[in-house]
Amino acid sequence: MRVTDADVGDAARLAVLLREPAQWLRDGRLVALPTETVYGLGANALDETAVRSIFAAKQRPAFNPLIVHVADPSWLGRVVADVPPLARRLIDAFWPGPLTLVLPRRPEVPDVVTGGLDTVGVRMPAHPVALALLRAADVPVAAPSANPFTRISPTTAQHVLDGLGGRVFAVVDAGPCAVGIESTVVAVEADPRGGERVVLLREGGTTREQLQAVVGEVFVADHADEVGDAARRSPGRVERHYAPSVPLRSIARRADGALQVPNELERPFALLCRGDAGGVTDAAHVDVLPADPAGFARELYAALHRLDRAGVAVALVEQLPDDAAWAAVRDRLRRAGLR
Ligand code: TXA
Ligand code: MG
């Protein structure tokens, strides 16, 4: 089902359009929905059978917890047992938006949603169609990215159909996603030094700098020994993920702007780069993405989906800047197998 900008601009019309998909969600069906980050594979989060069918459709291991989507912060009480003050500050600053909070769960949330953890990941998406659908369904919606397990996340409805067509009851198509990579995931937990602290579990659409501007220090689960069990607590951090089937190889750009194609290279090859093609003329497929981190993130997954279909032996990927603004994109490319 297609939702146009004109539909989005007319709240009454949008509500009518979304009445059926909302009912399907309530009935326990799988409905793929647009969000600002990526398309999600949605099911009623409080319906254990419906949530199980998400795992079956994606062929995703059951220990991997799902993110629950709410239409409004006032819905938190349906799934979360407690909202610590620090979490409240993050919600005030970043919702709706690409930030998932891991908070103590309520007993009504089925184990299959949380992977058996005593916490649940929750976010309020910044997408008018997602919000209208949630409101119309009036149930919290568990939704992982709508792709087969370990494959590239979908940023268009066509990506969803390509990966999961036949396994999803309906796809609500509202065009390409604006952020393009998944939400940032943080836990708010007791600080061993007293009070609470924010721990970054997954980089994403909200940067660490943005978080720090609101809450001060943000701990990173990766290299902080004191949060060493974070990998277990956030099992979605499996190394290989978001992966195209073609091998990715990193290449540098010289000071004069030329991209350095290795002498020994399988052919045909593809090139994925930033701003311009760096003088490379013999690639079988070229994807030039925007030079800024937000623009690059927005178009990255579509480019990886195209690489998958380009029929090349290898894809060369331009090395990205080291700075923090690029952290989430670097993370996704590393997990896509970039060496
Ligand atoms: O942007 C997004 O977050 C998208 C859209 C659809 O909202 N969803 C998404 O879901 O990326 P998914 O299932 O691909 O990622 C869920 C990840 C888990 O793999 C894990 O890293 C983290 O969120 N997560 C969820 N619940 C958690 C919990 N209780 N404790 C720790 N990590 C959790
Ligand atoms: Mg995913």
Query: How does pLDDT run across 132-154, given as a tens digit for each residue?
Result: 999 999 999 999 999 999 899 99
Average pLDDT over residues 95-117: 97
Q: Are 218 and 257 found together in one domain?
A: no
pLDDT digits (tens, 9 = 90+) for 20-56: 999 999 999 999 999 999 999 999 999 999 999 999 9
* 264/181 same-domain check: no
Closest CA to 315 of 258, 271, 266, 260: 271
145 pocket-lining for ligand 1 (C-beta < 6 Å): yes
pLDDT of residue 226: 36
Any idea which residue has 């702007």 for tokens? Answer: 257
Question: Is the CB of residue 69 less than 8 Å from the CB of residue 124?
Answer: yes
Residue type, 230: A
Ligand 1 test: best mutation among 63, 234, 242, 332, most atoms within 8 Å of CB? 234
Residue 223 has pLDDT above 60, yes or no: no
Q: Are residues 237 and 256 in the same domain?
A: no
Please state the atom number of ligand 1 nearest to the C-alpha of residue 100: 3
pLDDT at 232 over 70: no
Distance CA 318, CA 293 (A): 13
**Average pLDDT of the segment spanning 87-93:** 98
Same domain, 174 and 57: yes
**Domain end among 241, 272, 304:** 241
* Whether residue 307 has pLDDT greater than 60: yes
Pairing, β 248-251 against β 314-318: parallel
Examine the domain organization and report whether 262 and 237 are in the same domain.
Answer: no
265 plus 200 within the same structural domain: no
Reply yes or no: is the peptide bond before residue 65 cis, omega within 30 of 0: no
Q: Which residues of 303-327 are buried (b: 16+ CB within 10 A; e: fewer)?
A: bbbbbbebebebbbbbbbeeeebbb
Owning domain of residue 292? 248-335
Task: Quote the ligand 1 centre to 275 CA distance (angstroms).
Answer: 31
At 268 the pLDDT is: 97
Measured in Å, residue 280 CA sits from the centre of ligand 2 at 33
182 CB near ligand 1 (under 6 Å): yes
Ligand 1 site-directed mutation target among 59, 66, 188, most atoms within 8 Å of CB: 66
Domain holding 88: CATH number? 3.90.870.10
- Buried (b) or exposed (e) across 39-71, using 16+ Cβ within 10 A? bbbbbbbbbeebbebbbebbebeeebbbbbbbb
Give the pLDDT confidence score for residue 236 in this predicted structure: 52
Q: Are residues 189 and 89 in the same domain?
A: yes
Q: Tell me the β-bridge partners of 101.
A: 122, 186
pLDDT tens readout for residues 162-208: 999 999 999 999 999 999 999 999 999 989 889 999 999 999 999 99
Alpha carbon of 73 to ligand 2 centroid (Å): 23
Residue nearest atom 18 in ligand 1 by C-alpha distance: 236
Ligand of minimum distance to the alpha carbon of 147: 2
35 CA from centroid of ligand 1 (Å): 13
From 212, 241, 270, give the residue that closes a domain: 241
Say yes or no: 146 and 234 in one domain: yes
Ligand 1: distance of its center to the CA of 183 in Å? Answer: 8
Residue 11 DSSP code: H
Phi, psi dihedrals of residue 16, rounded to the nearest 5°: -65, -45
β-pairing verdict for 170-171 and 67-69: unpaired
Q: Kindly give the distance from the C-alpha atom of residue 142 to the centroid of ligand 1, in angstroms, as a whole number.
A: 10
Residue that is last in its domain, among 215, 241, 267: 241
Both 211 and 330 in one domain: the answer is no
Confidence tier at 231 by pLDDT (50, 70, 90):
very low
Q: How many domains does the chain have?
A: 2
Same domain flag for 257 and 237: no
Sign of CA dihedral 107, 111, 112, 113: positive
Q: What is the reported pLDDT for 225?
A: 38
Angle of helix 208-215 relative to helix 85-94, nearest 10 degrees?
A: 130
Say yes or no: 287 and 197 in one domain.
no
| Sheet bearing 184-190, strands edge to edge | 170-171, 31-33, 40-44, 141-142, 67-69, 119-123, 99-104, 184-190, 196-202, 218-220
Given a contact cutoff of 8 angstroms between Cβ atoms, the answer to whether 109 and 142 are in contact is no
Q: How far is CA 191 from CA 80, 103, 118, 240, in A?
A: 20, 15, 18, 31
Specify whether 113 is located in the same domain as 236. Answer: yes
